[in-house]
Amino acid sequence: MYALVKLAGRQFKVSPEQVLKVPHLGGSVGDAVEFNEVMAIGEGAGMKLGSPFVEGARVQAEILRHGRSPKILVFKKKRRKKYRRLQGHRQGFTEIRIKGIA
C-alpha cells in the first residue's frame, strides 16, 4: 500500500516504514507529525483517488532528524561585460519515517 501526499507544494509517494527527506518541517526530533493532504491512497484495484484530496485519509510520520543538503553553487556570467556573480545555497530538510497510512 502507498499514498501520494502533498507537502510544501511538492508531491511524495510514501509507503509504511519508508524513510525520506522532505522540506524543513517545524517540530523537534522524535515528534509525531500527521499529513492530511492525501491525494491518492491504496494499491491496484483498491486505489482511491481524491479530487483534490481523499476525505478522511491521513499519513502519520515521525521526525528522525533535521539537516541541510550539500551546497550548490549558483554562478551567473555575462561574457565580455565583466559581470560575474557566485552564490552558494544549502536547503534545509527534515528526515521522516512513515509510521502508518489510514
CA-atom Rg of the chain in angstroms: 18
The pTM assigned to this predicted structure is 0.82
Q: Which of 72, 59, 71, 73 is nearest to 20 (CA)?
A: 59
Copy the grid coordinates of residue 65. Answer: 532528524
Boundaries of every domain in the chain: 2-101
Each residue's pLDDT tens digit, 17-52: 999 999 999 999 999 999 999 999 998 888 999 899
